[in-house]
């Protein structure tokens, strides 16, 4: 059985961000690491989720991530923001059910397993940021654009939000981090 843990960087208990990694893309990956850092610097309490050395199957991740969001200790009237990468987007249906705002980085929007995620994106009413790259086979820019969410689509970026030129990849990382910071500041 794949196990997991949550580490917490304490900040404002009324503003809590839960960071959900992808499969093979941990919270130490640059897109999530900088998103967590910018939120913590803005005073948020940041809960960072990590799996043991084994990546979970999608169904297990969906259950565990959903349970984690339901059990987060956020005071009444507080704000709970989800920042998720790839596999973490399988928590989107629960986040939508709970009315949680989310920054969904490279959400899984294609394939049969992505049906609940696509439905939650289309039906969501909470503030939502969707970020994906046009070279990512799991991204669907049409679904994102039709959602009514704030969308940052990065030309030629892959599922890691990178391109072949490291300088441009660095610029993309800066744009994504700034988008998360601005999105959180408006909540």
Give the pLDDT mean for 157-177. 97
pLDDT tens digits for range 37-89: 999 999 999 999 988 766 778 888 888 899 889 988 788 889 999 999 999 99
pTM of the model: 0.94
- What integer pLDDT is reported at residue 92 of this predicted model? 95
- The pairing of beta strand 44-51 with beta strand 4-9: antiparallel
- What integer pLDDT is reported at residue 119 of this predicted model? 94
pLDDT tens digits for range 86-129: 999 999 999 999 999 999 999 999 998 889 999 999 998 999 99
Query: Could you tell me the domains of the chain?
Result: 4-185 (3.40.50.1820)
DSSP letters for 73-118: ---TT-EEEEEEEGGGGGGHHHHHHHT--EEEES---SSGGGHHHH
DSSP 113: G
């Amino acid at each position: 059985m794949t196990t997991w843990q949550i580490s917490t960087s304490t900040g404002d208990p009324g503003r809590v961000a839960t960071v959900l990694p992808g499969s093979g893309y941990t919270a130490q990956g640059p897109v999530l690491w900088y998103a967590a850092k910018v939120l913590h610097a803005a005073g948020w309490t940041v809960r960072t989720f990590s799996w043991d050395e084994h990546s979970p199957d999608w169904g297990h991740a969906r259950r565990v991530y959903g349970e984690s969001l339901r059990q987060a200790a956020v005071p009444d009237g507080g704000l709970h923001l989800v920042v998720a990468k790839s596999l973490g987007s399988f928590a989107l249906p629960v986040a939508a059910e709970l009315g949680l705002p989310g920054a969904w980085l490279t959400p899984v929007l294609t394939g049969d397993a992505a049906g609940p995620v696509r439905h939650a994106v289309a039906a969501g009413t909470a503030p939502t940021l969707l970020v994906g790259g046009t070279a990512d086979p799991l991204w669907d820019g049409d679904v994102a654009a039709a959602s009514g969410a704030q969308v940052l689509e990065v030309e030629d970026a892959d599922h890691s939000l990178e391109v072949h030129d490291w300088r441009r990849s660095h610029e993309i990382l800066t744009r994504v981090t700034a988008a998360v910071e601005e999105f959180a500041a408006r909540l």
